[in-house]
A and B are shown apart, each in its own frame.
Chain A
Amino acid sequence: MHNALQRYGVRLLVWAVLSALGCLLLARWELAQLRDAFETDARISHRLLSQRAVQHDAVLATLALLQPNAPSASPDSAEQRLSSVYPQILGVQRRDPGGSWSGAGLEAAEQASRQARGAVLANLDFNAERPRYQLVLAGQPASFALLIDVQASVPWADWSMPVQTSPVRVTLEHAGQAFVVQPGHMDEAGWRFEFHKHLASSSQPFDVVAIRQVLWVELPWALMVLWVAAVAAAVVAWSAWQVQRSARRRAEELLRVGQVARLNTLGELAAGMEHELNQPLTAILANTQAAKRLLNDEPPELPTALRAMDQAVAQARRAADVLARLRRTVEPSGTSQPGESVELERVVRSALDLLEPECKRRAVAVTVQTEQPATVFAERVAMEQIVHNLLTNALQALDQVPATERQLMVHIAIEQGAGVLRVADSGPGIAPDVLPRVFEPFFTTREGGLGLGLSLCETLVTGMGGALRAQAHAPRGALFFLSLPLAPMGASTP
């Protein structure tokens, strides 16, 4: 219980950490993307606005340089025609020598311009109904002033953002006044990106301020949820795989231990049997050979020879008794074997599952064909052993043919009221003279083989009321045919 808690705890922790890390990275990546986009937009805005400011400077400088001599009041004058070319320029004023400006502050601005040797700002009003400012350049003989509409001087045609919907707020700020170029969305929560840069014009050094407020909802929530779900799925899959792997390991271990135990028992049995049988055999041999010698004597010593033969007979009986005793000890008591319903396909699948690494290593193509699902009445452990043995034999036979020709076919059907399992391989097959002997104990064609696998299988199958046969498989290979009585209808399938 504690263990399970610990195991689940570990998995939960792994999931939580991976999820949090992934979400963090996703959020950061998204924010970086947004910041890049914002900075690009802000720079573009700054450049466009700067270009306009520089244009104003250039127009004014051209006027001051060319000194168009037409009276400024005339509608045809160059000054007045400027507005049609540059809509943001609302008007041009000219002050000829001796003349005067028609607005306040222009006089002082001209003085400043003369000193600065450049255009100077005057009468800036961002809060007016039409935000505006004037630009004054002192010239010789006449000085000029432009009245510029701020709203119109924004190059909307080239603007990179949708003005009404963009979340970026762009303002022009100067001397405590601010002109909102683009409103954007302002909010308190979230992350704030800011951009400050003065226009690239010394006469109009307005500060371009761009602000982007990133809201919580703008984080990549869908991606994050997807990531968290993916991690959860991966953790679940991983732990399922682990469970399966440990189950397989345990099953393999059990099978191996079982085989080793059987072999140990067998070894002890063989040693004991050897001693038990060697004594009577020694006596039989010595007695008969002594009798032979006695009969060959001249004259033959009949009474002694007869006694020796009697002894030999008695010893032969003793040997037979040893075997009978052994059989009584080893044989399962009675026929009350615990039978149950065993699904053939399930047994085959679980055995193949265990042998999967072997199949992979040998590159054997395995096909399982279930013509009719068959549930037989048998002993489960014995069935597992038998199927495992048959499959292992087939795999070993396949070692003797090239990897491309290795095929293992399992076929399940119901024939004549019995569950039938066929295991066929494309190996070298069984030689006809060997075929009748394959179920003999201690008969083997394999180097280092004990020759007990098939013999044990046959004993088990017969014990369960079934039959096991070996035959040739067309076009090549061996076929083992196993038939077992079907389980009675309605028997429980554990």
Chain B
Amino acid sequence: MNVPLSPLIHLIDDDAAVRDSLSLLIGTVGLRVQTWADPQEFMRSFDRLSIGAIVLDVRMPGISGLTVLDTLVAQGVDQPVIMLTGHGTVELCRRAFKSGAAEFLEKPVDDEVLLEALQSAVRQHVRSRERHQANQQAREHYAQLSEREREVLGLIVEGLTNKEIGRALGLSPRTVETHRANLFAKLQVDSLAHLIRHYASLVDSTET
């Protein structure tokens, strides 16, 4: 993994004064802020891999914040998006949440409300990234197993003992023991509980 940098907040607003003041405010809690005046420019060049969140003004010249939100979601951007608006109607709010906004805040926004929303969005993003990463690793390890080891793994997950597995696959209990040790090593797990937690879902998904 990269050097753990502090999370990065992308702030998109066409008004320079709003950009400056909000980035100053967000900076006081130790979050890094990158400001964008032009939503098109933002979508072209922001760092999609960064951990953090996006703060998006609804009313901007040229393109609506809602359109930007739709585009981001369609492109699979996983950073949570917080919408900011000066003229909040119920309809606008409903549309924003339906499109996948994490939060919908009205201008002028109170510091605690904004910072709280940002921190919770960042936490959520970090967790989702970690989950994603763990999943990725498990997949890589699983790929290294032999055909026989996968069969044995499947039966272990189903809760069979070594003796039962041997009977089911026509192997001696000693051989099953060996496969079991190998697959524990390849999957980098040290307990049955660990094995089942990380790999049960993979077994299920590859079997079907």
Contact = CB atoms under 8 A, between A and B. Distances in A.
A279 interface: yes
B22 A282 contact: yes
B87 A275 contact: yes
Most buried by B among A274, A282, A289: A282
A275 B87 CA distance: 7
Contact of A308 (B24, B29, B87, B110): B24
B20 to A, nearest CB: 6
A299 to B, nearest CB: 14
Interface residues of B, number: 19
Contacts of B86: 274-275, 278-279, 282
A281 B108 contact: yes
Contact of B28 (A280, A282, A293): A293
A280 B17 contact: yes
A293 B108 contact: no
A435 interface: no
Contact of B21 (A274, A275, A282, A294): A282
Given A279-B15, A279-B17, A286 B24 contact: yes
A204 B78 CA distance: 132
Interface in A440-475: none
B185 interface: no
Given A275-B87, A311-B20, A311-B21, A282 B111 contact: no
Interface string A264-298: 00000001001100111111111101100110010
B123 interface: no
B126 interface: no
A240 interface: no
Contact of A286 (B29, B87, B111): B111
Most buried by A among B22, B28, B59, B86: B28
Contact of A274 (B15, B18, B87): B87
B54 to A, nearest CB: 17
B16 to A, nearest CB: 9
B112 to A, nearest CB: 8
A280 B108 CA distance: 9
A308 B26 CA distance: 13
Nearest to A289: B111
A479 to B, nearest CB: 40
B73 interface: no
B25 interface: yes
B107 A278 contact: yes
Given A275-B59, A290-B24, A290-B25, A314 B107 contact: no
Contacts of B28: 290, 293-294, 297
A2 to B, nearest CB: 51
Contacts, number: 76
A282 B18 contact: yes
Interface string A295-326: 00100000010001001101100100000000
Contacts of B22: 282-283, 286
A278 B87 contact: yes
Given A271-B87, A275-B87, A283-B15, A290 B21 contact: yes
Contacts of B92: none
Interface string B53-81: 00000010000000000000000000000
A458 to B, nearest CB: 29
A278 B18 CA distance: 10
Interface string B11-55: 000010110111011011100000000000000000000000000
Contacts of A315: 17, 21
Contact of B25 (A279, A286, A297): A286
Most buried by A among B17, B87, B110, B111: B17
B168 interface: no
A296 B17 CA distance: 23
A281 B86 CA distance: 10
A279 B107 CA distance: 8
Interface in A363-378: none
B25 A289 contact: yes
Contacts of B27: 290
B109 A282 contact: yes
A289 B113 CA distance: 12
A271 B109 CA distance: 18
A290 B28 CA distance: 7
B25 A293 contact: yes
Nearest to B20: A311
A274 B109 CA distance: 14
27 contacts: A274-B87, A275-B59, A275-B87, A278-B107, A279-B15, A279-B86, A279-B107, A280-B17, A282-B18, A282-B108, A283-B15, A284-B21, A285-B108, A286-B21, A286-B24, A286-B109, A286-B111, A287-B25, A290-B25, A293-B25, A293-B28, A293-B29, A297-B28, A304-B24, A308-B24, A312-B21, A318-B17
Given A282-B21, A282-B86, 14 more contacts: A271-B87, A275-B87, A278-B87, A283-B18, A283-B22, A284-B21, A285-B108, A286-B21, A289-B111, A290-B21, A290-B24, A311-B17, A312-B21, A318-B17
Interface of A: 271, 274-275, 278-287, 289-290, 293-294, 297, 304, 308, 311-312, 314-315, 318
Interface of B: 15, 17-18, 20-22, 24-25, 27-29, 59, 86-87, 107-111
User: Top 3 closest A-B pairs, CB basis?
Assistant: A278-B86, A286-B21, A289-B111
